[in-house]
Structure 1
Amino acid sequence: MTVSARPPRVLLLTSSPLDGADGSDVALARDVLGALPDIEFLWFSQWPGRRGRPLPPVGRAIALWSGDGAPHAPVRLQAALAGAVAARRADLVHAFLTIGRAFPAFSWLRPLMLGARPVVHSVPGVMDSRLLARTRPLGTTVALTESMARRLRAADFGDVRVIPPMVPLGRWPCLPRPEGVPVVLFVGHHDPHGGAAIAVEAAAEAARAGARFRLVLAMRGRPGQNTAALGDELRELSGAVGLTDFEVRGYVENMHALLASAHVLLFPPPVIGGKADIPFTVLQALATGRPAILSDLPQFADLGDAVLRAPAGDARRTGQQLLWLLEQPRVWDMLAERGRAIVEESFGPERFAAQYAALYRELLA
C-alpha cells in the first residue's frame, strides 16, 4: 500500500481534536488511526492539552487551540484551515464529518480546500435529510449502515460504500448480569428529539405495570447547552410521570463501569439526528452483554433479532417491551448472547481494519 518509498500519508480531517472531547467523528477517526499501523497519519491535537485524552502514540499531530477539546465554531474553523494546509502534504484525505448545517458550504469549497488528492468521507450521521439536497460528495463516501447508504445514493452521492463501525472486543468483554435491583440505562444528548423524554415516559409505563427498577439517564451536553437546566427539566419530568427511583447524571467518563452496572439499555429516540447512525453506546452495550430496546428505525435493522424494537416515539409500547424483558430472565439471557454475537460477527476490529485497508489501497493506487 505505497505510493512511493515512504508509507502513504493520510490526513484525518475531523471537526475537533482527536485527544479532545468525545464525539462520533473523533471516535471513528481514532479507531481508523489504531487499525492501520502502516499508514503515516496526520491528525488534530488539542493545545493546550488541559483535559483531553492521551495523545495517540502514532502519526503526526497538528495542534488546534481549544480550551476543552469540543467542536466549537472557532475550533471547526481552525480545523478547516489547518486541514486545507495539511491536505497539500497528504496523499489521501480521510474526512470524518457529520452532515450538519455548515457542511453543504464546505462541500462546495472542497476543490479549494482539499485540492485534487483523493478523499474518503466517513459519514457518522446526518443532522437533517434536507441538507443532502444542498450537498456535494467530497469523494468516495462511507456510510455506517445500509440504511444510510441508500439515503446517500438517493441524494446522488455516487460512490457510496458501507463499513460498519468497530468495537474493540478485548476492551468490551461480555459480563454476567449484575445483581440487585435492575438498572435501566439511557445514554444520549439533551436534544429535542434525542429520546430522553420518551425513555422517561416508557419507564413510567413499565413502573405503573409493576416493574421494579432504577432508571439512570446519562446525559451528554453539546456546546452552548445549559446542561444543569436541562438536567433539572428531566428530573421534573421523571417526578411528574410518577417515577420514584431515577437518577440524572451528566457526562460519564467510565462507560465500562456504567454499562457493567446496567441490566438494560433503553434508547428510543424518534430520530437519530446528530448522533452516529448506529450510536457507539448501543454497540458497546451489546458487546458487554446488555440487552437493548431501541426505536424501530431503519438503521437498526442491521441488528436483526439481537435487540428489541418498538415503534419510534411510542412510549407505551416501549414501556411494555421493558416490562416484558425485566420479567423474562430467559429472554434477557438470549438477547445478551445474541447481542454479543452480532458485534463479534459484524462490528469486530479485524473486519473494520480490512475494509478500510482495502479502500485505501484502491484509492492510493
Structure 2
Amino acid sequence: MTEAISPLAPKTLPDMPPVPGVTLATRKAGIKYADRTDLLTMLFEPGTTVAGVFTRSRCPSAPVETCRDHLPGGRARMLVVNAGNANAFTGKKGRATTAVTVKAAAAAAGCGESEIFLSSTGVIGEPLDPAHFERHLLDMAATARPDGWVDAARAIMTTDTFAKMVTRTVSIGGVDVVVNGISKGAGMIAPDMATMLAYVATDAPLSAGVLQQLLDRYVGTTFNAITVDSDTSTSDTLLAFATGAAAGRGAPAIADPEDPRLAAFAEAFADCLRELAVMVVRDGEGARKLVRVTVTGAESDASAKRIAMSVANSPLVKTAVAGEDANWGRVVMAVGKAGEPADRDRLAIWFGDILVASEGERAEGYSEAQASEYMKADEIDIRADIGLGDGCFTAWTCDLTKEYVAINGDYRS
C-alpha cells in the first residue's frame, strides 16, 4: 500500500450504511507487512445467497479454486480475505492452507464448509501460513459488527492508494434495500470474467440464480471494460451476496431475473459495479489521468470492444496521454492493429469534442494547440467511429507513467 493518494481519487468517501444480515471484522495479521490491517471477514446470516465470477487465468490461485468448488451450493456464511500474499502458484501448500482456513472459518461461523468463500491478494509464489487464519477467525466472528465497511475496504488494499466503496439504496416492491460494494486493485488489471477483488452485498431477497444472472449481465460492460496494464491476475474474484433480510420488512422474494420488480434494483446493481470498476482505474499504479475510450460504428458490439481495448491497452496511446501529447496517430495505429473490420477512409477520431481526424486524414481546421490544451485535463475522452455499423463499446483506462515502472520494479521489496 503506497502513501501518496492518487490525484484521481474521489474527494470524499461515501457514508456506508449497514447491510442487514452482514457483519464485518478486520485484523492486523502480519501476513506481509507489520502493523497494517490485512485480514477481513464478512459474516452473513443463514440463508444468504451467493454468486460469483472469477479469473480465466490458467494459473488461478488456490482461493479461486475453492470459491469455484463452493459456488454451486449457492449459499454463503463467511467470506475471508487477506492482503499481502496471493496464495497463487503455491502448489500443495496453497491448497492445504485453503483447506485449513475453510475448516477454521466454518467452525467460527457455525456452518458447512461449502458456505465459506476465500480470496487472497498480493505476491504470487510465496507460501501462505494457515496460522494467520487459525488464530484470528474465531475472535473475528465473535466481534464482527455491521458498521465496519470502511475498515473492510482498507484491509484488502495492496498497492491501492485509497479505499474503494460504493453504496446505493433502491426499492423492491415498495421496500428499500441497501447495496454496498468494495473493491481493490491498482495494477495487474485487465480483467477476464471478473476483476481484481470485489464484493457486493445486499439485503434484497434474491435467489442465487438471479444474482448470477445480474453478474453475468453486467460484468462485461463494467469490470471487464477496464484496463490499467493489460495483465490479468491469477486471483480475480467478484462475489455478490444477498442476505434476504429485507423480506422481514415485506420485500418480495425474487427468483426470476425477468421479474419486473427487479428493474430498479438491477440498474442500481449495475451502477455499483461500474463505479467500483472505474475507481480501480482511477487508482491505476502511477496514474495521473483517467481515459474513457468509446468506439462507435463498428460491425458489432464485440468488434467495438476489441477495438476499444486495443486503444485502451496501447502503451503508445497511454504514454502519449501521460505526456499530454495529442498524438492521434497512435489511436489510428491501435484501431488498425486490433484485427477487426475497419476502413481507413471512414474512420473518425475525437479527443473530447475536438474532431482530430476523418476521411483518412487530419480533420480540416484541426488545431494542434487546441488539442494539446485538452490533453492537460485530468479526464480524457477518446472516441473512434469506425463507420461500418452500429456496434459500440466503452472502455476505461489510465495513462502510463514512470511511477508505474517504479512501483512494479520493486513490488516484492
* Class of the TM-score when normalised by the shorter of the 2 chains: under 0.3
Who wins on radius of gyration, i.e. which is larger? Answer: 2
TM-score (norm: length of structure 1) = 0.28
TM-score by length of 2: 0.25
